[in-house]
Amino acid sequence: MTQHKPRATGLGLGTASRVGSSRFGHSTLGTLTGPGEQSLAARRLRVATYNIHKGVRGMGPRKRLEIHNLGQGVESLDADLVFLQEVRLFHHRDAKRFERLRVQWPQQGQAEFLCPDGYLSAYRTNCVTRDGEHGNALLSRFPLGEIGHHDVSDHRFEQRGLLHVPVQWQGREVHAIVAHFGLIHASRIRQAEKLAEYIRTCVPHDAPVVVAGDFNDWGERLDPTMTTAGLHRSAVPELPRGPLTYPSRLPLFSLDRVYVRGLRCTGLFVPRGPVWARMSDHLPLVAELELA
């Protein structure tokens, strides 16, 4: 039997409407009214990146299931492409823990469960644990090509990978790559170098590329290596290093990012508030992009 997606209600998340760069950085995204603005929005690609913390929060007896709230949150972003990290296909212990709740652990994988109606999902495992696994996912409003996965693990204590999915948009093939880099700076540099080599080898040189995810770059030292790879960090003049996204309750670091090639950023937005702080230890980052 196909399980429907029960959503938590009354969260007050609203829906993110498309806007231009002048209003995109505010706490609300506004609404497009004129046909010219709507035509402009149709030429823009809205992407979001979100580390969902495996759909749960808390520890021990205070551990709680957030995947249903996350479903409503993801849908409210109204993004064309959603880059997700720390996504689970299954986890036997957590599924058993929450089986007595009225709203239970989803029967399908979290990527499929979080897909808004009409979207497609792609998922690949990065890390295998005793009770389950987790990895990266892409949710897309547009048709997908062949799904690829590239291991960029730097040592045996951290299993890391890239999810690569070509997406058909505006008559072009945009290459979407979901990334989740390691906790050690030297590892992140080597992973960025592996990413660069993968793009050189597996992505056409003239194709637009979006690499988004959790880069764990606490010291803001990764951008030069990414620039060498031909990838530029999405930013706006008032926030050259991007909005703060971690930790969600009191953001101090810009760990979640969108890097692009062949595209330019026209706006950035991070939704804030107690509901978003509750659902994950990261806040989502939303970027509006146009062909360069």
This prediction has a pTM of 0.88
Query: φ and ψ at 14, to 5 degrees?
Result: 70, -165
In the chain, alpha helices (H): 21-24, 35-42, 67-77, 92-97, 110-114, 185-202, 223-228, 274-279
Report, at the CATH architecture level, how domain 21-291 is classified. Answer: 4-Layer Sandwich (3.60)
- CB-based contacts of 242, cutoff 8 Å, min separation 6: 233, 234, 235, 254, 257, 268, 285
Instruction: Answer yes or no: is pLDDT of 24 > 80.
Output: no
pLDDT of residue 61: 79
Mean pLDDT, all residues of the chain: 89
149-178 pLDDT, tens digit per residue, is: 999 999 999 999 999 999 999 999 999 999
Q: How are beta strands 45-51 and 285-291 bridged, if at all?
A: antiparallel
Strand partners, 51: 85
Q: What percent of the chain has pLDDT over 70?
A: 86
Res. 17 pLDDT band, cuts 50 70 90? very low
Burial per residue of 133-161, b for 16 or more beta-carbon CB atoms within 10 angstroms, e otherwise: bbbbbbbbbeeeeeebbbebbbeeebbbb
Least confident of 68-72, 182-186, 237-241: 237-241
Taking residues 127-155, what's their average pLDDT?
A: 97
Please tell me the predicted confidence (pLDDT) of residue 67: 97
Nearest residue to 278 (alpha-carbon basis) of 67, 107, 135, 3: 67
Task: Find the helix or strand (DSSP H, E) in which 261 lies.
Answer: strand 256-261
Identify the pLDDT of residue 120.
98
Q: Which residue has the higher pLDDT, 1 or 173?
A: 173
Give the rounded distance of the alpha carbon of 37 from its chain centre.
26
pLDDT confidence tier of residue 19, bands split at 50, 70 and 90: very low
* Domain ranges across the chain: 21-291
What pLDDT does residue 28 have?
A: 34
Residue-wise pLDDT for 233-256, tens only, equals 999 988 888 899 999 999 999 999
Confidence of residue 35 (pLDDT cuts 50, 70, 90): low
